[in-house]
A and B are shown apart, each in its own frame.
Chain A
Amino acid sequence: MNAVFKPDESFRDDFKYGNSPHAIRRFPFPFAEDEYMYAVNIEPHLPGPKGSVTEFAIDVDEHYVAECRERAIVLAAEPLRFQALPHMMSAQWDCLELIMESLARDYPEYFTLAKQGTRWNWTNRPLGIQQAFLFGDPATLPQPPLEYITRQAQGDWLVMDQREGDLWVEAGMVTTQADWSLDFDIGMTFKEWHGPVPLAHELGVFERALRYLLNLRLNEPVRRLNWTMTIHPRLDTSPENYPKWGPDRAGVTLQNAGDDAYLRVELQGLWRLPRSNGIVFSVRCYLISMRELVTIPKWAARMHRVLKSLHPALADYKGVSRYRATVAEWLAPYDNGAPTGPGTWPD
Chain B
Amino acid sequence: MKHAVTIAVEVTAVEQVTPLIKHFTLAPIAGGTMPAFSGGSHIIVVMRRANRVHRNPYSLMSPPGRLEAYEISVRRMEESRGGSHFMHDEVGVGSQLEIAHPVNLFGLDKIARKHVLIAGGIGITPFMAQLQDLHAANVPYEMHYSVRAPEHAAFRDQLIEQEGDRLRMYYDSANELIDFEALLGSQPLGTHVYVCGPAGMIERVIGTARACGWSDSHIHWEQFSAPPVGDAFDAFLARSKLKIHVLPDQSLLESIEAAGVDVPYLCRGGVCGFCHTKVVELEGELIHNDHFLSAEEKASGKFMMPCVSRARCKNLVLDL
Contacts and interface: CB of A to CB of B under 8 A. Distances in A.
Given A217-B266, A274-B36, A274-B38, A162 B107 contact: yes
Range of interface residues on chain A? 10 to 19
A87 to B, nearest CB: 4
Interface string B143-184: 000000000000000000000000000000000000000000
A300 B253 CA distance: 49
Given A218-B103, A219-B35, A161 B110 contact: yes
A163 B109 contact: yes
Given A165-B217, A220-B4, A274 B110 contact: no
A215 B267 CA distance: 10
Interface residues of B, number: 22
Given A164-B217, A219-B5, A275 B36 contact: yes
A163 B111 contact: yes
Nearest to B217: A164
B64 A275 contact: yes
Contacts, number: 51
Nearest to A274: B36
Contacts of B261: none
A87 B110 contact: yes
Instruction: Decide if the interface of chain B is mainly helix, strand, loop or mixed.
Output: loop
A219 B7 CA distance: 11
B104 A277 contact: yes
Interface string B83-103: 000000000000000000111
B36 A217 contact: no
Contacts of A97: 36
B37 A217 contact: no
A164 B109 contact: yes
B215 to A, nearest CB: 9
B14 interface: no
Contact of B35 (A165, A215, A274): A274
A276 interface: yes
A218 B107 contact: no
Contacts of A211: 273
A86 to B, nearest CB: 9
B272 interface: yes
A88 B137 CA distance: 12
Given A274-B38, A277-B41, 19 more contacts: A87-B110, A162-B107, A163-B107, A163-B110, A164-B109, A211-B273, A215-B272, A218-B35, A218-B37, A218-B101, A218-B103, A219-B5, A219-B101, A220-B101, A274-B35, A274-B36, A274-B102, A277-B38, A277-B40
Interface of B: 4-5, 35-38, 40-41, 64, 101-104, 107, 109-111, 217, 266, 272-274
9 contacts: A163-B107, A163-B111, A217-B4, A218-B102, A218-B103, A220-B101, A274-B35, A274-B102, A277-B41
- Of all A-B residue pairs in the complex, the 10 with the closest CB atoms, nearest first, are A274-B36, A277-B38, A87-B110, A164-B217, A218-B101, A219-B101, A277-B104, A277-B107, A163-B109, A275-B36
